[in-house]
């Protein structure tokens, strides 16, 4: 068998291919995005970007009910958006297998919270399968479809950032070609109105009891008996930390983390002196074990926050050991908007006008930090528009005269458009800025419904954002070049001071989008530089202040957007052809 080193997300895609998945729908979200991108490379699998996770899950459910193996992928907060179908799909069950990949982000590498998907799965009564490396990711993913079909249930496949974004060795297998299931109308199973849902709720409970009983004999739950003085109950990437830090300890490694294998856990606890439950985030496993009346150690030793590590475990088990070298003091290097980013241009104008922004989820969240300091709030996808509406209704037009909502094109189509419909319906006079960079930027340039390309790279209809806004009744829609700072300034001033609901679409492609040419660079002529520092206020990483106070522009980083030039009152910055 061919061996390859693969990202956890690529291994999941490979598992989906090998499992015979035919339909996959997803919305990008770190750390889940690459699953769909890798899966799209297989001709045998239909893959798509949906506008949001609710839509994605419903598409996958439709495919499952129609009779083919299907899946949806999302990040943890995406599952919140998809939770409406999720809870009821637990009742309907499946026809062909349905697996929902959910990627949690302990440590907040690229998220707004640290919620634990296992908690949602428990309340929805859905099984959860969790691998601990890429090899398991591929094999367990195939197994998830067996569980889904055997127990007639959607299955949640949980990964975490470290699993999704680490690489390990995978052995490739051929694709299975499972027979499509015939479709038969079944109102009692698929039409969830009270009479049938009452019946299905009984099925859900019976299924969970059966699955819990069977869990102790599932091959993905296993005991590695070692030293019986100390044992760990663990799963996912945390298992690797246990093996690294305490290689001789006994380990109960869970491949299915909901429902738990009660009999297996009871046996393990009986045969080991001290048992630790080692799980990142919430004490989901620990609390259930305690509720059964067993004594284990858990969150009194290990945090509910961030990622775990082998050193952290060693510290708890063996006591802290000093490092050979002390950690040096070094100025922080937080993420920043890229050189040439059109968002910087918009935020520089908002900053100049002292306007607050209700922000949203995307690269442009970075408009909150110095030196731009524009964004005041960021909650979740699409929330900028509704938050601003709430502010207007709370304190009136006067209060929001120095406020706008800022939202990206992909996020606007995700859930922002609903909030804009609410503004139209409920007589808002606010200003909404759609920062249209023609891609889903932060997750690494995924297509969406307004880019004109599908996930598979095919041409398709591109929704015109301006027409969309007009069609729902926005009275004033203005499209403008995101780098036209004079035009932006005038338009924003007029809009926030007026009484008409306005959408300003600031357009310019993401500086990292492929296929663009940057024929020019900006240079600062030291003899003409008055050292005023105006250009540094835009926060472009290509610009640095020299010891003599003049500004130098790094030619490899600069893409010649000219924003710094626009802010130089002395004409010291010039745009010249790239050497």
Partner 1 sequence: MNIMVVGVGGQGTLLTSRIIGKTALNAGWDVKLSEVHGMAQRGGSVVTFVRFGKKVYEPVCEEGSVDVLISFERLEALRYAHFLKPDGIMIVNDTRIDPMTVVIGAKTYPEGILEKLESEHKLYTINAGEIAKELGNSKVVNTVVLGLSAKHIGFTEDEWLETLRNTVPPKTVEINTLAFKAGYEK
Q: Based on CB atoms, which residue is closest to partner 1, 178 or 315?
A: 315
Residue 332 beta carbon to partner 1: minimum distance, rounded to whole angstroms: 6
**What is the spatial distance between Cα 185 and Cα 67, in angstroms, rounded to a whole number?**
12
Between 215 and 350, name the residue whose CB sits nearer to partner 1. Answer: 350
Least distance (Å) between residue 223 CB and partner 1 = 17
Are 518 and 376 in contact by the 8 Å Cβ rule? The answer is: no
Binding site for partner 1 (CB under 8 A): 3, 5, 7, 30-31, 33-34, 109-110, 133, 162, 165-169, 237, 240-241, 243-244, 309-311, 323-338, 363, 365-366, 369-371, 442-444, 536, 539, 541, 543-545, 556
Structure tokens at 75: 């990040």
Report, in Å, the least distance between residue 86 CB and partner 1: 24
Is cis: bond before 217, omega within 30 of 0? no
Q: What are phi and psi of 462, to 5 degrees?
A: -105, 120
Q: How many CB atoms lie within 10 A of CB 562?
A: 19
Minimum distance of partner 1 from residue 330's CB (angstroms): 4
Q: Are 92 and 121 in contact (CB under 8 A)?
A: no
Q: Residue 144 CB, nearest distance to partner 1 (Å)?
A: 22
Query: Least Å distance between CB 165 and partner 1?
Result: 5
SS (H, E, C) 335-375: CCCCCCCHHHHHHHHHHHCCCEEECCCCHHHHHHCCCCCCE
* Phi and psi angles of residue 561, each rounded to the nearest 5 degrees, phi first: -65, -25
Q: Phi and psi at residue 204, in whole multiples of 5°?
A: -60, -45
Phi, psi (degrees; rounded to nearest 5) at 486: -70, -45
| In the complex, least distance from residue 240 CB atom to partner 1, rounded to whole angstroms | 4
Using left for φ > 0, alpha for ψ between -120 and 50, and beta otherwise, residue 162 falls in: alpha
Taking the least distance from each CB to partner 1, the nearer of 331 and 577 is 331
Which residue's structure tokens are 């380990």? 251
Task: Quote the least distance from Cβ 545 to partner 1, whole Å.
Answer: 7
Kindly list the distances between the CA atom of residue 396 and the CA atoms of 50, 380, 499, in Å, as whole numbers in the listed order.
Answer: 36, 24, 11
For partner 1, which is the closer residue by CB, 86 or 246? 246
Would you say 197 or 369 has its CB closer to partner 1? Answer: 369
Say if residue 57 is preceded by a cis peptide, omega within 30 of 0: no
Nearer to partner 1, 154 or 362 (CB): 362
Q: Which is nearer to partner 1, 153 or 440 (CB)?
A: 440
Nearer to partner 1, 62 or 371 (CB): 371
DSSP 536: G
DSSP 80-104: HHTHHHHHHHHHH--SS-EEEEEEE
Q: Cβ neighbours of residue 569 under 8 Å, at least 6 residues apart?
A: 532, 534
What is the nearest approach in angstroms of partner 1 to the Cβ of residue 169?
Answer: 7
Q: Which is nearer to partner 1, 169 or 172 (CB)?
A: 169
Report the nearest approach of partner 1 to the CB of residue 55 (Å).
Answer: 22
Rounded Cα–Cα distance for residues 240 and 31 (Å): 19
- 549/533 Cα distance (integer angstroms): 8
Which of 37, 208 has the CB closer to partner 1? Answer: 37
CB 11, min distance to partner 1, A: 12
CB nearer partner 1, residue 525 or residue 554? 554
With tokens 């900053």, the residue in question is 351
Q: Count CB-CB contacts under 10 A for residue 222.
A: 12
């Amino acid at each position: 068998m061919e061996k390859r080193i693969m990202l956890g997300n690529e291994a999941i895609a490979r598992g989906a291919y090998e499992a015979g998945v035919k339909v996959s729908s997803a919305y990008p979200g770190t750390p889940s995005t690459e699953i769909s991108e890798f899966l799209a490379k297989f001709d045998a699998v239909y893959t798509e970007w949906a506008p949001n996770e609710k839509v994605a899950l419903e598409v996958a459910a439709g495919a499952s009910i129609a009779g083919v193996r299907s899946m949806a992928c999302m990040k943890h907060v995406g599952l919140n958006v998809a939770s409406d179908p999720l809870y009821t799909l637990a009742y309907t069950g499946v026809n062909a297998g349905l697996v929902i990949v959910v990627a949690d982000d302990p440590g907040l590498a690229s998220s707004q919270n640290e919620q634990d998907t296992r908690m949602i799965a428990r309340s929805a009564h859905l099984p959860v399968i969790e691998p601990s490396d890429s090899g398991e990711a591929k094999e367990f993913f195939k197994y998830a479809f067996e569980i889904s079909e055997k127990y007639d249930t959607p299955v949640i496949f949980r990964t975490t950032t470290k699993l999704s974004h680490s690489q390990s060795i995978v052995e490739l297998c051929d694709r299975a070609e499972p027979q499509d299931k015939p479709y038969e109308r079944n109102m009692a199973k698929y039409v969830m109105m009270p009479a049938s849902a009452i019946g299905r709720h009984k099925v859900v409970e019976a299924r969970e009891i059966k699955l819990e009983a069977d869990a102790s004999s599932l091959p993905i739950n296993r005991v590695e008996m070692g030293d019986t003085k100390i044992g760990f109950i663990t799963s996912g990437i945390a298992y690797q930390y246990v093996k690294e830090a305490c290689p001789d300890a006994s380990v109960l490694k869970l491949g299915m983390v909901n429902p738990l294998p009660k009999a297996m856990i009871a046996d393990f606890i009986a045969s080991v002196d001290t048992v630790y439950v080692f799980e990142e985030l919430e004490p989901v496993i620990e609390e259930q074990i305690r509720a059964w009346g067993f004594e284990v150690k858990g969150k009194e030793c290990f945090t509910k926050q961030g990622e775990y590590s082998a050193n952290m475990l060693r510290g708890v088990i063996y006591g802290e050991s000093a490092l050979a070298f002390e950690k040096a003091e070094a100025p922080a290097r937080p993420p920043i908007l890229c050189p040439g980013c059109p968002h910087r241009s918009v935020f520089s104008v908002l900053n100049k006008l002292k306007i607050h922004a209700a922000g949203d989820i995307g690269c442009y969240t970075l408009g909150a930090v110095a030196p731009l300091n524009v964004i005041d709030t960021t909650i979740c996808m699409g929330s900028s528009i509704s938050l601003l509406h709430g502010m207007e209704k709370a304190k009136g037009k006067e209060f929001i005269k120095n406020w706008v909502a800022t939202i990206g094109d992909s996020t606007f189509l995700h859930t922002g458009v609903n909030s804009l419909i609410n503004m139209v319906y409920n007589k808002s006079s606010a200003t909404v800025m759609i920062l249209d960079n023609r891609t889903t930027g932060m997750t690494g340039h995924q297509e969406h419904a307004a880019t004109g390309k599908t996930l598979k790279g095919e041409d398709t209809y591109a929704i015109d954002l301006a027409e969309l806004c007009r069609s729902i009744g926005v009275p004033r829609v203005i499209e403008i070049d995101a780098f036209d700072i004079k035009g932006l300034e005038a338009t924003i001033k007029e809009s926030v001071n007026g009484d008409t609901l306005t959408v300003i679409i600031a357009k310019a492609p993401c500086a990292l989008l492929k296929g663009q040419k940057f024929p020019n660079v900006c240079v600062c002529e030291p003899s003409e530089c008055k050292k005023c520092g105006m250009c540094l206020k835009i926060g472009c990483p290509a610009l640095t202040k020299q010891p003599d106070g003049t500004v130098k522009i790094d030619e490899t980083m600069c893409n010649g957007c000219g924003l710094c030039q626009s802010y130089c009152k002395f004409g010291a910055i010039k745009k010249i052809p790239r050497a």
